[in-house]
Structure 1
Amino acid sequence: MIRVTADCPFVDYEMASGIVDFIKQQQVDIVDLGATLPRGLAVEAISYSALQYIDQHGQEPRHREHVTYYAYEYKDQFTRATYQPPKNRLHPELRITLDTEEDYTMLAAVAQHFNDPYIPSSEVIKYLLEHPEIAALNAHVEQKPVI
């Protein structure tokens, strides 16, 4: 199973395809990312059996709201493999998600520039790096913690 969230409009479909191939080869419960990506580009791969286990055991509110959080909190209960994202995705300073008005302003500027719903995430990153004034629109936003 692949998990992406609705507040991340520029889904990295290229990396998601690579992760699907990776989890099939590794035959593990969950794929960890071996690097920090921009907030909003992470793609998660988790087995159906792991999701069933989480449903039965993850009863805290944070486990119900964030479907895979239990698997990160209790790592030893799942088999795992680490996927190394492409180097051009390794820009954790960027925020490409929609939680605030500032996020919306930045994302709208990116969407308007490309005017294409299928733009690769690598192109979004490249654009933001080349246009720091656009990336700065939401750079100050701090992610709220999981409680």
Structure 2
Amino acid sequence: MKNVGIISQARMTSTRLPGKVLRPMAGQPLLLHHVLRLQASGLPLYLATTTNATDDVLAEFGAAHQLPCTRGPEDDVLARYQQCAAAHNLDVIVRVTSDCPLLDGALVADAVRTYLAADNPRLYLSNVLERTFPRGFDFEVFSRELLEEAAAQATLPSDREHVTPYIHQNRSGRVQFRHVRRAEDRSAYRLTVDTADDFELIRQLIENYDAATLPTDGLIALLDAHPELVALNAHIEQKKL
């Protein structure tokens, strides 16, 4: 049996919305919504934050919620993933980011089952290269072998900050790919939190529409039915790598 773990990266010094992961909505921090949704996958979940004093509160959050936390360089997030995977002896890593409070644990669990059935350590499986899901449902699944290779070979600062470019750009020439897609493209929707407008949309969805209990298709149907909600953050441009 392979040891699979979800690693979520988090820090308090977001450039566009500092402290966003601990901002409250529906009486609990954004990060707790993220954690509870992913714990529904049945997979172990780990937090990878920085050694900065500003992120002591995230380590404390992890301790309070029985969420193992590893700490490493702020800008070398790839090193943080490598440290976390080594600390917990992971064979397979699911990479997610903590600013996605409505990411569906069931969606992640299905993807992991698909990945494990392939039994291929050179496989990179994700829903981010060929986007059909809303922003905020992003996940990547890859082996410890690919992670260690990237950590050893990737030298560009952007490679280190964004963790997986060395893998998904196939710099080694030996990566194989599988894409998780949905039949109807809803990649224009944003359910990630990068700005105050993003936060307001998620807050309204959770507080007024019980979105934290909805599966992926239910959340997408909710957005389909409420274009006025979609409009709250439709103008936000995703930061480029």
TM-score by length of 2: 0.55
Counterpart AA for 2:164: T
Query: How far off its partner does 1:83 sit?
Result: 3.4
Aligned partner of 1:31 in structure 2 is 125
* Residues 39-58 of structure 1 mapped to structure 2, 5 A cutoff: 39-58=135-154
- 2: CA distance between counterparts of 1:101 and 1:115? 20
Q: 1:15 touches 1:43 (CA, 8 Å); kept in 2?
A: no
Q: CA deviation at 1:116?
A: 5.9
Match for 1:10 among 70, 84, 102?
Answer: 102
Read off the aligned partner of 2:124 and give its amino acid letter: I
Structure 1: unaligned runs, 5 residues or longer: none
1:143 pairs with 2:235? no
Q: How far apart, CA to CA, are the structure 2 residues paired with 1:80 and 1:12? A: 25
Which secondary structure state, in structure 1, belongs to the residue aligned with residue 97 of structure 2? coil
Q: Does 1:81 align with 2:173?
A: no
The equivalent of 1:91 in structure 2 is 186
Would the aligned equivalents of 1:22 and 1:83 in 2 still touch at CA under 8 Å? no
Number of positions where the alignment pairs a residue of Structure 1 with one of Structure 2: 145
The range that moved more, 16-25 or 116-125, is 116-125
1:59-105 per-position Cα deviation (integer Å, ceiling 9, x unaligned)? 211111111122122355343232343325x3011011000111011
Check 1:113–1:78 CA distance in 2 against 1; reply closer, same or farther (3 A cut).
farther
Asked whether the 8 Å contact 2:131–2:181 carries over to 1, the reply is yes
d(CA) in 2 for partners of 1:35 and 1:122?
A: 15
Superposition pairs of residues 60-79 of structure 1, within 5 angstroms: 60-74=156-170, 77-79=173-175
- 1:71 alignment partner, SS class: helix
Query: What is the Cα-based RMSD across aligned positions, in Å?
Result: 1.9
Separation in structure 2 between the aligned mates of residue 116 and residue 100 of structure 1, nearest angstrom? 19
Q: Secondary structure at the match of 1:87?
A: coil
Q: Where does the alignment leave 5 or more consecutive residues of structure 2 unmatched?
A: 1-92
| Deviation readout 1:19-67 (Å, 9 max, x if unpaired) | 1011111123311435432111121111111011111111211111111
Computing the radius of gyration from Cα coordinates, the structure with the larger value is: 2
User: Which amino acid in structure 1 is aligned with residue 108 of structure 2?
Assistant: A
Q: Take 1:6 and 1:81, find their aligned partners in 2: how far apart are those partners?
A: 24
From the two aligned structures, give the one with the greater helix fraction. 1
Amino acid at match of 2:191: I
Q: Secondary structure at the match of 2:101?
A: coil
- Structure (1/2) with the larger strand percentage: 2
**Greater relative CO (CA pairs within 8 A, separation 6+):** 1
